[in-house]
Structure 1
Amino acid sequence: MTRFPDHLPEALRTLQADEIAGNRAVLEREGLVTDDTHFSYVGLDEADKRELFAGGRPPRRVRSFLIDMATGRSHDTVVEPATGVLVSARELELDVDGAVPVVLREFSLVEEVVHRDERWLAAMAKRGLTDVSKLRVNPLSAGVLADTERGRRIQRCFTFVQHTPEDLGWAHPVDGVTVMVDVVTGEVLDVVDYAELPVPAEEGNYHLPEWRGPDREGLKPIEITQPEGPSFTIDEHGVLSWAGWQLQVGFDQREGLVLHNIGIDDDGETRPVIYRASIAEMVVPYGDPSPQRWFQNFFDGGEYLFGGFANSLELGCDCVGDITYLDAVVAGNDGAPHVIHQAICIHEEDAGILWKHSDNWNGSSETRRNRRLVVSFFMTVGNYDYGFYWYFGLDGTIEFEIKATGIVFTSSYPGEGYPWATEVAPGLGAPNHQHLFSARLDMMVDGHRNSVDEVEAVAVPRGADNPSGTGFTQSFTRLSSELQAQREADNRRGRVWLVTSEERRNRLGRPTGWVLFPEGGPLLLADADSDIAARAAYTTKHLWVTPYAPDERYPAGDFVNLHRGGAGLPEWTAGDRPVEASDLVLWHTFGLTHFPRVEDWPIMPVDSTGFVLKPHGFFGRNPSLDIPAAADHCAPDHHASAGHAHPHDAHH
């Protein structure tokens, strides 16, 4: 059976500060870095895993996306910092390749430029807004460009009023005005005044104690302690070991958390499950088709690089308990290393009952509590905040959860019955939208040769084999090619996807496997012929399956910004490659469809989405039978009457 080679942790560890600095030095030496060059992305260009598993030890490489903000010229480069070699440098063609992700300079530049534009000033004055110092200009990715905009690097911009430096500007959108800015030339190309809508006046300053009112009383402290410390260990390469699990924790400026070499112990043998797991893309398509909002579709991965916006986490607020923090090293727009302190949180948490039974025949009563290992980070992109949580359980379950919070994007609310938004405060709207993520799961269930079956519940009609009509069963459909493996979830049928090994069988003689349980929420709700459907085609199916290819990394393509669409998964799968008994990558689309509530304003309580992976015939029996009883909490002399513990039990 294929195992993880010992040299993988070194080959796949997170990019280091000296490598980031060395990458910049090579690019500067080769004349690719000038005073106007901004590094849009810098990340580990992972080696082909086939070479790594064959025993190869290729030099570590760094991939960068560069843009000269004076000329707009952009490059995709690969460097070997240890040898000082420039491996490749390709200049991008904007109208063909798309553009490199947004750089920080664009955010400040846009407001400077717009504040000087006479057309915008006139549109604001018409609304009685003459104090420019109180007007915030919000630069937004432009989507698909009009013919008159081709060849330019565009931001489309909205305006908000911020009455004081402490004011929440999202409460006061100046709706109906859109500004198009060329961020390379610094030109305002157009100001379109579509509609004159009232600016909502009510404040939303939830962050100010005097605004939100007194704190709720009566909440007693919850303290989580581990007097003997955590049950996991982590080494210098990020290899994390816990309760039979082993995985390598990494971080990328685009994808955020990246987990490699996920395996689990089975009677002393670490068996592989997943080679690489990440959230490879996310898009937030908005559902208000009005002239000023039709383009609102933000790729927080490909356009903004959400990993680079990771928060520095705080004990007791973001993470509670016995916490291990890891810093993340990313590149700034100057190409130099930048440390995000305490970006990754690792801890254990109680997860309720693991298994339990009180037997009426033999008198036994056994209960085991579950706990899980949590690896997480939080990031903020504009108005929204997202927590990314990977959970590993004692029974072999892997779960992923997104926690979405922050501020809903706001608009003016035109009036009762407006179908594209919710009125969340007087005159303040929040447009309908979705948050659609793509998990890239490079599977390795007991080796590199895996297959996928779609498993469904089947109601069997009354007949010779089912005379009482009470029988039901399962169907298994092999997904043999890429086009056949473009699937939608169906919760009415209990549809799941089972990944099985072609190299190993369990003690009952059947292929070992791992099953993906989708939530099955709505896919992209935009029309199939819309611009966003072409750009975010991955959101039109819950499952895509492809054979492993080292250059197929992002489901909407490498360069999403200003791309016309069709890149990524639809392009790769057009050839309908076979995916049976192959080295497989699963791309799983999941997410939230958000029709905002009044209760989501002024700050949104967490809304969650995710998926679950569970072993299916992977083990010979319940793998958590060896979990010891919690004797300090489940002592045999603890009895309850009418649901209440005896007073003396409260101190046990």
Structure 2
Amino acid sequence: MTTTQNLSNSASLHQVQHPLEPLTAVEVQAAVAIVRSEYPVGEQFRFPCVTLHEPPKAMVLNFQPGDAFEREAFLILLDNTTGATYEAIVSLTQTKVLSWQPIPGVQPNIMADELAECEAAVKAHPEFQAVLAKRGITDLDLVVVDPWAIGNFGFADEVGMRLSRCLCYLRSRPDGNFYARPIDGVVPVVDLNQMQVVRIEDMGVVPVPPEPSEYAARFMPSLRPDIKPLHITQPQGPSFEVEGHFVRWQKWQFRIGFTPREGLVLYTVGYEDQGRVRPILYRASMAEMVVPYGDPRPQHFRKNAFDLGEHGVGMLANSLKLGCDCLGEIRYFDGVLTNSRGEVAITENAVCMHEEDYGILWKHTDWRLDEVEVRRSRRLVVSFIATVDNYEYGFFWYFYQDGTIQYEVKLTGILLCAALVDYPKYGTVVAPELNALNHQHFFCMRLDFDLDGTANSVYEVNTAAEPPGPDNPYGNAFYAESTLLKTEQAAQRIVDPLKARYWKVVNPNQHNRLGQPVGFKLVPGENVLPFAHPDAPILKRAGFMTKHLWVTPYSPLERYPTGNYPNQHPGGEGLPQWTQANRSIENTDLVVWYMFGHHHIPRPEDFPIMPVAYAGFLLKPVGFFDANPALDVPLQADINQSSSGETSQTCH
């Protein structure tokens, strides 16, 4: 549940123990109030973003408990009257605005309040009502207007305007699944600054698909009766410890952050090894998510969603429910945000953290001694879920006892569909007269590595077959070949599973006991490249999709692969622009950007609601430890016995 809080202006700021703690509700309210007190920010202003202005990296790395530090907020403001965008930095410590800067020629992300106001404006417009009546639709209560970002396709009459292009649907009943019944051929375009309809695009009457295609339990004639209860209990509580947003678990430690644009952010990820905490990642987050659709017809060619840059998945995060989204002994973290008017809005239980059993961690049977050693794997799960129009995305970080980190996106929700009209070349028929459109999902991760320090390098590792000859007389030999990626352009790479390709981040200045540089490897999972033509507008705006790996030297200003303001931007900014400088990335503080894609040619089985699909990658230690770091994980039987006091069957 998202709640809006009216907090007392006289409330004192909470004492914050670490510079990376997210803004509290009191701090958010104070930041907005300070800006309003120093600048003429009236009711015509919206607040697309109010979040922590992260302190300099060097300061955080040198921070010691008890050190004094400045507390700052970063704000984006939009003046609906003039269309002007501003950025502000506020010192909460000094209670004053440190900087106020106009940002010309940009459009901030679309806010939830704008979506609701846009729908109301469209439904009240006489021309919209007339085009619906022409289609025999008179009950506006059953009509749903779903505003989308309009993108940028070079149309001169759209320059400088803040626009939304709306998709329309018709419920079969007031609580029905409207995504199953698109009203194709009707596209309202709205000026979001004035909240006025600019035009109604009427492309001709198209029959609304007839079936309601419901999925909620209340519509099912019966549910399976044969599923027995499954209880997950931890009688002594979970194994993790939490102080504010600082987490310790099984030698892991990190900090949790949450931003309106990225949602969940992890900071200062490290692993305790031989009595010291070794840094791995300074900051890790999803930096952009783009969903291009593959239907070229006038109704559909503009469907290219930038879900972070145009909307913000943090703003769209769900309030998670025990036993539904998360199972077990759960620790929740709230998301402290604002609505578009700068009022504090808290998404309760935005982030979920819990432990899971994950099968066998390691095992060996010595049959000569009749001895078995086996350990069960446990992983820590940190996740949040966002509803982005028709789709749900679950974003999951997993931490394992052997030092592995996994990132996984779980995709579910409802397919974006169109009325069939003709043969569905660019989609799949999933119900009578209903065509689910072909599309792809691309996710770009920003991984600021600090492996045992900030000076790191990246290698590409390919496996090669040794040619037959005196050194390989039977033709069975193969080896791993590492190539140092020295510059930004050399590091623009594509996956190649036929070479077992992976990328390895190392600290060339630190070595394990075997003399190998300490490192972590990035192991690709499912992946794909875009099928859009190289000259297509979507690839101008989201050029990061053309490569799976990018590496840049660290810069606090380079945060998003499509630039700071991709909404309605013509493109060219972000990673393609930065890497033209071809800066050195050898033995320096660097950022790894990994892009992975999920390719979706829909199936009938994906409708009316889609079973979860998975995409992601692994970060695995390679030479980072001297040996298997999970050797000291106790037997499950010993854990159970210490918990209950009862003797259980041994595993050795």
Q: Smaller-chain TM-score range?
A: over 0.9
Aligned to 2:158: 149
Q: Indicate conservation of the 8 Å contact 2:113/2:339, yes or no.
A: no
**Alpha-carbon separation, structure 2, partners of 1:151 and 1:598:** 41
Q: 2:211 aligns with which of 196, 202, 205?
A: 202
Q: Indicate conservation of the 8 Å contact 2:264/2:384, yes or no.
A: yes
What SS does the aligned partner of 2:32 have? helix
Alignment of 1:54-203 (within 5 A): 58-94=69-105, 98-144=106-152, 146-203=155-212
Q: Indicate conservation of the 8 Å contact 1:489/1:520, yes or no.
A: no
Aligned to 1:440: 446
Q: Indicate conservation of the 8 Å contact 1:19/1:82, yes or no.
A: no
Aligned to 2:273: 266
What displacement does 1:58 show? 4.9
Q: 1:247 aligns with which of 244, 254, 257?
A: 254
**Alpha-carbon separation, structure 1, partners of 2:384 and 2:111:** 22
Q: Indicate conservation of the 8 Å contact 2:526/2:598, yes or no.
A: no
**Alpha-carbon separation, structure 1, partners of 2:491 and 2:543:** 15
**Alpha-carbon separation, structure 1, partners of 2:17 and 2:528:** 38
The answer as to 2:482 corresponding to 1:476 is yes
Q: Indicate conservation of the 8 Å contact 1:327/1:339, yes or no.
A: yes
**Alpha-carbon separation, structure 1, partners of 2:176 and 2:134:** 23
Structure 2 residue identity aligned to 1:609: A
Aligned to 1:391: 398
What displacement does 1:208 show? 4.6
What displacement does 1:110 show? 2.2
Q: Indicate conservation of the 8 Å contact 1:449/1:582, yes or no.
A: yes
Aligned to 1:638: none
Q: 1:535 aligns with which of 534, 537, 541?
A: 541
The answer as to 2:40 corresponding to 1:49 is no
Identify if the C-alpha distance between structure 1 residues 248 and 193 changes in structure 2 by more than 3 Å, giving closer, same or farther. same
- Cα-to-partner distance string for 1:12-46 (whole Å, 9 max, x where unaligned): 11111122111111110122421121111111121
What SS does the aligned partner of 2:60 have? helix
What displacement does 1:649 show? 8.4
Aligned to 1:461: 467
Structure 1 residue identity aligned to 2:548: H
Aligned to 1:575: 581
The aligned length equals 626
Aligned to 1:407: 414
- Cα-to-partner distance string for 1:549-581 (whole Å, 9 max, x where unaligned): 011111111111111101111111110100000
What displacement does 1:54 show? 5.2
The answer as to 2:463 corresponding to 1:452 is no
Alignment of 1:569-648 (within 5 A): 569-631=575-637
Q: 1:234 aligns with which of 215, 238, 242?
A: 242
The answer as to 2:36 corresponding to 1:36 is no
What displacement does 1:136 show? 1.5
Structure 1 residue identity aligned to 2:577: E
**Alpha-carbon separation, structure 1, partners of 2:472 and 2:543:** 43
Aligned to 1:4: none
What SS does the aligned partner of 1:20 have? helix
Give ranges in structure 2 of 5+ residues lacking alignment.
Answer: 1-14, 642-647
**Alpha-carbon separation, structure 2, partners of 1:339 and 1:549:** 30
- Cα-to-partner distance string for 1:132-169 (whole Å, 9 max, x where unaligned): 33222111100005111111011011211123321111
Identify if the C-alpha distance between structure 1 residues 41 and 469 changes in structure 2 by more than 3 Å, giving closer, same or farther. same
**Alpha-carbon separation, structure 2, partners of 1:53 and 1:322:** 32
Identify if the C-alpha distance between structure 1 residues 510 and 208 changes in structure 2 by more than 3 Å, giving closer, same or farther. closer
Identify if the C-alpha distance between structure 1 residues 631 and 132 changes in structure 2 by more than 3 Å, giving closer, same or farther. closer
**Alpha-carbon separation, structure 2, partners of 1:18 and 1:192:** 45
**Alpha-carbon separation, structure 1, partners of 2:339 and 2:102:** 21
Aligned to 1:643: none
**Alpha-carbon separation, structure 2, partners of 1:578 and 1:477:** 15
Q: Indicate conservation of the 8 Å contact 2:141/2:174, yes or no.
A: no
**Alpha-carbon separation, structure 1, partners of 2:68 and 2:445:** 28
Aligned to 1:256: 263
Identify if the C-alpha distance between structure 1 residues 92 and 275 changes in structure 2 by more than 3 Å, giving closer, same or farther. same
Greater displacement, 261-270 / 59-68: 59-68
Length-normalised TM-score, structure 1? 0.93
Identify if the C-alpha distance between structure 1 residues 228 and 634 changes in structure 2 by more than 3 Å, giving closer, same or farther. closer
What SS does the aligned partner of 2:269 have? strand
Aligned to 1:16: 24
Q: Indicate conservation of the 8 Å contact 2:522/2:618, yes or no.
A: yes
What SS does the aligned partner of 1:175 have? coil
What displacement does 1:486 show? 0.8
Aligned to 1:562: 568
Structure 2 residue identity aligned to 1:120: F
Give ranges in structure 1 of 5+ residues lacking alignment.
Answer: 1-6, 636-647
RMSD: 2.0
Length-normalised TM-score, structure 2? 0.93
**Alpha-carbon separation, structure 2, partners of 1:54 and 1:247:** 16
What displacement does 1:362 show? 4.1
Aligned to 2:328: 321
What displacement does 1:313 show? 1.2
**Alpha-carbon separation, structure 1, partners of 2:43 and 2:592:** 42
- Cα-to-partner distance string for 1:368-398 (whole Å, 9 max, x where unaligned): 1100011111111211111111100010010
What SS does the aligned partner of 1:29 have? helix
What SS does the aligned partner of 1:314 have? coil
**Alpha-carbon separation, structure 2, partners of 1:614 and 1:32:** 51
Structure 2 residue identity aligned to 1:597: R
Q: Indicate conservation of the 8 Å contact 2:460/2:503, yes or no.
A: yes
The answer as to 2:286 corresponding to 1:279 is yes
What displacement does 1:603 show? 1.1
**Alpha-carbon separation, structure 1, partners of 2:214 and 2:462:** 49
**Alpha-carbon separation, structure 2, partners of 1:295 and 1:233:** 47
**Alpha-carbon separation, structure 1, partners of 2:70 and 2:543:** 34
What displacement does 1:421 show? 1.1
**Alpha-carbon separation, structure 2, partners of 1:436 and 1:53:** 32
**Alpha-carbon separation, structure 2, partners of 1:57 and 1:39:** 29
Q: Indicate conservation of the 8 Å contact 1:80/1:87, yes or no.
A: yes
What SS does the aligned partner of 2:183 have? strand
State percent identity of aligned pairs: 43
Structure 2 residue identity aligned to 1:241: R
What SS does the aligned partner of 1:559 have? coil
Aligned to 1:305: 312
Q: Indicate conservation of the 8 Å contact 1:442/1:584, yes or no.
A: yes
Structure 2 residue identity aligned to 1:607: A
What displacement does 1:75 show? 1.0
Greater displacement, 275-284 / 626-635: 626-635
**Alpha-carbon separation, structure 2, partners of 1:285 and 1:376:** 25
Greater displacement, 482-491 / 49-58: 49-58
**Alpha-carbon separation, structure 2, partners of 1:69 and 1:410:** 33
**Alpha-carbon separation, structure 2, partners of 1:118 and 1:336:** 33
What displacement does 1:633 show? 9.7
Structure 1 residue identity aligned to 2:525: E
Structure 2 residue identity aligned to 1:614: K
Structure 1 residue identity aligned to 2:161: R
Q: Indicate conservation of the 8 Å contact 1:277/1:441, yes or no.
A: yes
Structure 2 residue identity aligned to 1:280: A
Q: Indicate conservation of the 8 Å contact 1:61/1:81, yes or no.
A: yes
Structure 1 residue identity aligned to 2:539: A
Q: Indicate conservation of the 8 Å contact 2:526/2:616, yes or no.
A: no
